[in-house]
Structure 1
Amino acid sequence: MNWTLFDFVFAGILLATLGLAVVLLLRLKRSRAYRAGLFLFIVTSVFLIIANGAVGVIGGSHNDANMLYFTALGAAWLGGLLMRFRSSWLSRFLSVLALAHVFIAASAVILRWGQAGAAWPWDILIASAVFAVLWQVSAWLFGLDAEIRRLKGVQI
């Protein structure tokens, strides 16, 4: 790895943003399930950006196939913004994001992307599975919040 000053500044900005998000989450007047789901969504997003940018999931950070993870993440965030982070929609978006990670990993193995890596294909399969599980847990928490709000008669 050949890290530049920009890489360290970018990582610092991501971590500072994560800290700010945690502070704002603590002040949010929503259920614990919603706050936990949003916290996991943000933390997993930051972790994916740092891990994929630093070392890459598919064959290394230089492999263009890694952009598929960023594209799926960007689509989930855009969908969340468009739907104003409503828990019922976030639950759906994050389930699709989890499924997207499974499809990306399967495509990478089938098409033999990143096969030059020392741990291929296990690095791709394990990293994608970890992210898929984290996205799905976050989706479950948002679904739990949506159900709580539905039972209370609050518009979701």
Structure 2
Amino acid sequence: MDWSLSDFVFAGALLAGLGLAVWFVARGPRNLPYRLAVGVAVLAALLMVWVTGAVGIVGGERHAANGLYFLAVGVGLIGAALARFRPRGMAFAVGGTAAATALIGVAAVAAGWGDNSARYPLDVLGGSFLLAAMFATAAWLFAQSARAHF
């Protein structure tokens, strides 16, 4: 493995984001479903960004379609900020991320992106749907948290 400076910066940013999420959970609501939801959502986002940057979900890591997965994470971050991290709004924000992630995988296969890999289309759909399922689980946990909160 031959890491460049940008690779170390990328890994540092991922770890800093993970540390910030752990801090947020530690200081945030004492509601167990909410804490679990944050953990699952952060883990899913971390995996998505790491896999997309390291090897790529669609084709190789340099395939342009992989950038769409970063947009899906952006949907979740913007939605979370708009929801002001309240459980009900977080359920919608993370649910939107789950839907966007699944749609990206389906669109990539429909467009034939990444068809040069040995396990196409299972790698694209499997990776996308696994991450979407993790985000959907987090959305469900946020919804459970909202019910317990009120």
Same fold? TM cut 0.5: yes
In the TM superposition, what whole-angstrom CA distance separates every residue of 1:3-61 from its partner, at most 9, and x where no partner exists?
Answer: 31220232133124313422441232330111111111112111111110111110011
In the TM superposition, what whole-angstrom CA distance separates every residue of 1:59-105 from its partner, at most 9, and x where no partner exists?
Answer: 01111111111112101101111221111011112222212222111
Q: Does 1:62 align with 2:62?
A: yes
Aligned partner letter, 1:140: W
CA distance in 2, matches of 1:48, 1:14: 11
Q: Secondary structure at the match of 1:58?
A: coil
Structure 1, unmatched stretches of 5+, are 151-156
Residue in 2 aligned with 1:40? 40
Residue in 2 aligned with 1:153? none
CA distance in 2, matches of 1:66, 1:147: 35
Structure 2, unmatched stretches of 5+, are none
Identity over aligned pairs, percent: 38
Alignment of 1:23-34 (within 5 A): 23-34=23-34
CA distance in 2, matches of 1:128, 1:17: 22
Q: TM-score, normalised by structure 1?
A: 0.88
Alignment of 1:4-153 (within 5 A): 4-150=4-150
CA distance in 1, matches of 2:79, 2:27: 23
Q: Secondary structure at the match of 1:117?
A: coil
Higher alpha-carbon deviation: 42-51 or 20-29: 20-29
CA RMSD of aligned residues (A): 1.6
Q: TM-score, normalised by structure 2?
A: 0.91
Higher alpha-carbon deviation: 82-91 or 13-22: 13-22
Q: Secondary structure at the match of 1:3?
A: coil
